[in-house]
A and B are shown apart, each in its own frame.
Chain A
Amino acid sequence: MQLVLKATLIMSGICAVLAVLLLIAERYLANYGTCTIRINAGEKALDVKGGRTLLQSLMDEGIFIPSACGGRGTCAYCKLKITEGGGEVVPTEAPLLTEEELADDVRLSCQVKVRNDLAVVIPEELFLVSEYRGIVERIRDLTHDIKELRIRLIEPETIPFEAGRYIQLETPAYGDNPEAVYRAYSLSSTPNDNRAIELIIRLVPEGICTTWVFTMLKEGDAVVFNGPYGEFGLTDTDREMIWIAGGSGLAPFWGMIRHMREQKIGRKCTFFFGALSKRDLFLTEELRTLEKEMPNFTYIPALSQPTPDDDWDGETGLITEVVDRHTGDLSETECYLCGSGGMIRAAAKMLEEKGAKKEMIFYDEFT
């Protein structure tokens, strides 16, 4: 008995000593001091305290890199090219990087610790990204599983953006969700309405952010988001356009069409919107009204699985089939897509078969 007690005491003592040594090591050995992050070949240099991740260090300096998972190394949005000082690729990021990216020194900025001076390449548009605080002004049900949020800005009071861009909405810790996470949503509002933003969000089963929006978020609640991000939006041409969307993919187009009306942009535009049945259609009356106000705008909703109760005499079939029926040669047409990855892949294939040029087919990378 005495022997067991003695052994336990010795082991506990060793553990305590090791714990103290670890604390000392963390305090002194893992003190990386001040490190310099050189950005875009020295155009900008930041002196930061070493030891944090590159993503956190940049965020602390007001540079927001897209990240949906809160830096857990799971979403792979925060990729940056690190030309010097990135160290070895760590096991947590390797599965999320392609061979081309690895060869090109692309890394997940949330997995790279700043332990020494670094040189990174950051796309110019990310310098325009800021963090915003706002209040939920309105929540509106658009369908059984889609809601519209209107968020009035508090700080900063306005947001500059172009129609079609997206933001990342923060979901705070709640329930079983222990940490804040971010999810990307297209802006459905117009640049003119820059004291607020609007989002169209579809409920995702098991979705951390959408479950919070649908079950917990209320009008009057404070929210945080950052943005704007992306390149999706109208080009500066007069080319004819076709837009194709499904579900909450309608969001950027709702902002773009209202922007076109506000700015009196008269480009010819046909908007194909695919839904399963009538209950999945939304903003139909509003789009029909715009059709009357804008002679070059045509709205074509299509149902792929109408129910007998729908009493539907409009277009039916998969959205790709409907677009195919309504269009001819697309070699001079700009094509804009927003929706699920499967819809985008199928639509892009069909559009290319009809002559659309790859460089004139636009969609956001987060789809």
Chain B
Amino acid sequence: MKHTPEMQRVIDRMRPGVLTLHGFLGADRRELEEILDVDDSTVAGLGVTHAELARLLQDVLEQAAAGLGTKVSVADRLRADYREVMGRIPCPWGDGSFQKGEVTLVDDETGETLRFSPLSIHMIAAHGFYDGRGSRFRVEPAALHRMLHTDRGPE
């Protein structure tokens, strides 16, 4: 598949070893454009926007960050911790750099887990990108919606 020069630059930066050890696409063999299209359809089908989902993750990040590494309760059954590490990581689209770190959000009852970073939140909001399947930071839009976009979402 032919990519635009801009998209090719983004894809190149997502490859393993460029910005992160294993890259952003995980084991996903689909083209980036297809990944974006499918997730876009999923999110539209959920009746929300990428920006809304990103805002839910941002709320969790802010609550977890206040815990300085400890697990904090972000809603009924949901606990999160934020492990921040030194340094910043740029967005593969080249529109900003973000603190390195990862939030782990766990539903204590079901064990369902979401793992994301400050960069994930930006990429979801600005580019509708949730990482490729198999990537450490892949956020399934449906899982995100199920865990957070309910009455028991972040307070």
Contacts and interface: CB of A to CB of B under 8 A. Distances in A.
Given A95-B95, A204-B100, A367 B21 contact: no
Nearest first, the 4 A-B pairs at minimum CB distance are A176-B16, A177-B17, A340-B84, A176-B17
Interface residue SS majority, chain A: loop
Interface string B105-130: 00000000000000000000000000
Interface of B: 13, 15-23, 65-71, 82, 84-91, 94-97, 99-102, 136
A172 to B, nearest CB: 12
Contacts of A176: 15-17, 21-23
Contacts of A95: 90-91, 94-97
A319 interface: yes
B64 to A, nearest CB: 10
Given A92-B94, A246-B68, A274-B68, A340 B85 contact: yes
Contact of B18 (A72, A184, A206): A72
B21 A211 contact: yes
A204 B70 contact: no
Interface centre among B84, B86, B94, B102 (most CB of A within 10 A): B86
A179 B18 CA distance: 8
B68 A96 contact: no
A204 B16 contact: no
Interface of A: 68, 72-76, 91-92, 95-96, 173, 175-179, 183-184, 202, 204-208, 211, 246, 274, 276, 304-305, 318-320, 340-343, 346, 366-367
22 contacts: A73-B90, A74-B90, A76-B88, A91-B94, A95-B90, A95-B91, A95-B95, A175-B17, A204-B85, A206-B20, A207-B21, A211-B21, A246-B69, A318-B67, A320-B68, A340-B68, A342-B65, A342-B82, A342-B84, A343-B68, A343-B69, A366-B86
B17 A318 contact: no
Contacts of A320: 68
B88 A75 contact: yes
A345 to B, nearest CB: 9
Contact of A341 (B15, B94, B99): B99
Contacts of A96: 90, 97
Contacts of B102: 205
A67 to B, nearest CB: 12
Contacts of A92: 94
Interface centre among B66, B69, B84 (most CB of A within 10 A): B69
B14 to A, nearest CB: 12
